[in-house]
Structure 1
């Protein structure tokens, strides 16, 4: 067995393998998947000398611990957290050399939700439809990590970045999502449209990789009944029967029958990946389709 591998010692609350996902398969019913905070995942890959498409680990709230079988360069970014190697503090947001057999521990997030851990050479589990990403909705890709899981690593593609630390956006204390209203905003009353863009919401604890759920005022429809199922896109703001908006994230279904009142600007979605439950949330309309 190759020594280019790591063993999961502590899997954490939810740790998955993620890369840039598998876009382009929605016509087959396959979600996009991929890292929720793509900026953080790309940053960790740059820090260890990987190409941007290399697979990384995405942790959730409680971090994880792994033991590489050979010396590897590692970088951790996303949600700020303590990092140790064999119990000794190591840098967050910078390349770190971890000797073979040492225990790398990524601690609980101090703020934010999701951390990203890149290894020189990338995680090289078998790709499915061109991606190594775990998709929690469809079940494609490797299962979420468990204690004792062994993950293969590729050969380093290049040297690590020559930096001490790099700037990185902090998790939001208030999440502001710019939205374009439509395509089904005409299924809602004018009062509902005003409510969406003028009243505060909060991130719900029921949020996950499929969608960011919200707590706040319900949105009133102007039409009864349901839509035939239609295509959904990343960032779609769907309104289920309880009237509380749901922002579709990377593992979202490819179709849905509830009306989409708006779509979030793609640049704002990494912030949604890091918004902890209870974070204040505002939707800001930037363009109207009508």
Structure 2
């Protein structure tokens, strides 16, 4: 039971829930950049939590199903085409053997998740089938001509949760800290009132933001400390970086705030040029 890669698009990698618990070994969790879209894809496909799926950036993926397969695509408004015929957004599709399936280029959003019933049964590294693009750990990026093994169909998947109804222009919710005291009161006010633009120099490691400078109240060097997905780190130039799934284990610049998990998922879909705002999460 296999799927053959015919075209990868700009970037396609394998992802699951990641490999938490190895920070002491210098290994970051990695995992899907948009966790909720990834989980929804598996649930719709009838897979249990943690099943490996393909994370496809800006569409362009093209595959051939070498056996009959059940597929679903989530995360953006991109859709699957089966032998050139378009399907509906987030439609569960039964694909015959030999059919060619493609992911269209999304108009909204950045990362789509292609799940197949049974998941992709590539070898796990430290218990995960996620490709960590910063550390170079996990399965290699699929290339044209690769065949990905598909696991046996599971007995039952997880319940499907509908996506949250959040407007595209809603602020990203954050909890201030742990190093907000390293910044001036004006910098905190700016973070929570100004608009920032996603830089083209962004990837699954971090979103680099252009906009007003966040000034520090303290200028001494901060010893490196652990960081998490969604941490908003501010380097000396004052322009914040939002760490994403493939973030490093530690960082040496102060973290002014941390996105909530739901906000981190929304940030995962922000394209270069997107405008972002922040707000303190409700208590």
**By the TM > 0.5 criterion, same fold?**
yes
Q: Which residue of 1 aligns with 2:272?
A: 277
CA RMSD of aligned residues (A): 2.1
Deviations 1:140-186 (A, max 9, x none): 111222211211110101368999xx954589632521112111112
**Residue 46 in structure 1 maps to residue 65 in structure 2:** no
Which segment is superposed worse, 135-144 or 222-231?
Answer: 222-231
Q: Could you say which residue in structure 2 is the equivalent of 1:118?
A: 115
SS in 2 for 1:276: coil
Q: For 2:33, which of 31, 36, 43 is the aligned residue? A: 36
CA distance in 2, matches of 1:90, 1:45: 18
| 1:240 paired to 2:235 | yes
The gaps in structure 1 that reach 5 residues or longer are none
Separation of aligned partners in 2, 1:287 and 1:95: 35
Determine the C-alpha separation between the residues in 2 that align with 1:138 and 1:46. 29
**Does the alignment pair 1:205 with 2:185?**
no
2:56 to 56, 59, 62: 59
Distance (whole Å) between structure 2 residues aligned to residue 68 and residue 171 of structure 1: 35
- Of residues 82-91 and 149-158 in structure 1, the stretch that sits farther from structure 2 once superposed is 82-91
What is the match of residue 251 of structure 1? 246
Q: SS at 1:194's partner residue?
A: helix
TM superposition shift of 1:286: 3.6
- Of residues 12-21 and 81-90 in structure 1, the stretch that sits farther from structure 2 once superposed is 81-90
Alignment match, 2:127: 130
- Answer whether contact 1:177 1:268 (CA < 8 A) is retained: yes
- Aligned partner of 1:15 in structure 2 is 12
When residues 241 and 97 of structure 1 are mapped into structure 2, their CA distance, relative to the original with a 3 A threshold, is same
Q: Write the distance in 2 (CA, Å) between the matches of 1:68 and 1:120.
A: 12
| 2:95 matched residue in structure 1 | 98
Is this contact kept in 1: 2:230–2:264, CA < 8 A? yes
3-state SS, counterpart of residue 94 of structure 2? strand
Check if 1:27 corresponds to 2:24. yes
Q: Which runs of 5+ in 2 are unaligned?
A: none
* Whole-angstrom distance in 2 between the partners of 1:161 and 1:256: 35
Contact residue 124 and residue 151 of structure 1 kept, 8 A: yes
- Alpha-carbon separation, structure 2, partners of 1:107 and 1:238: 34
Q: Look up the SS of the partner of 1:262 in the other structure.
A: strand
Distance in 2 (alpha carbons) for counterparts of 1:137 and 1:160 = 31
User: 1: CA distance between counterparts of 2:167 and 2:133?
Assistant: 25
Note the C-alpha offset of 1:134.
0.4
**Distance in 2 of aligned mates of 1:134 and 1:171:** 29
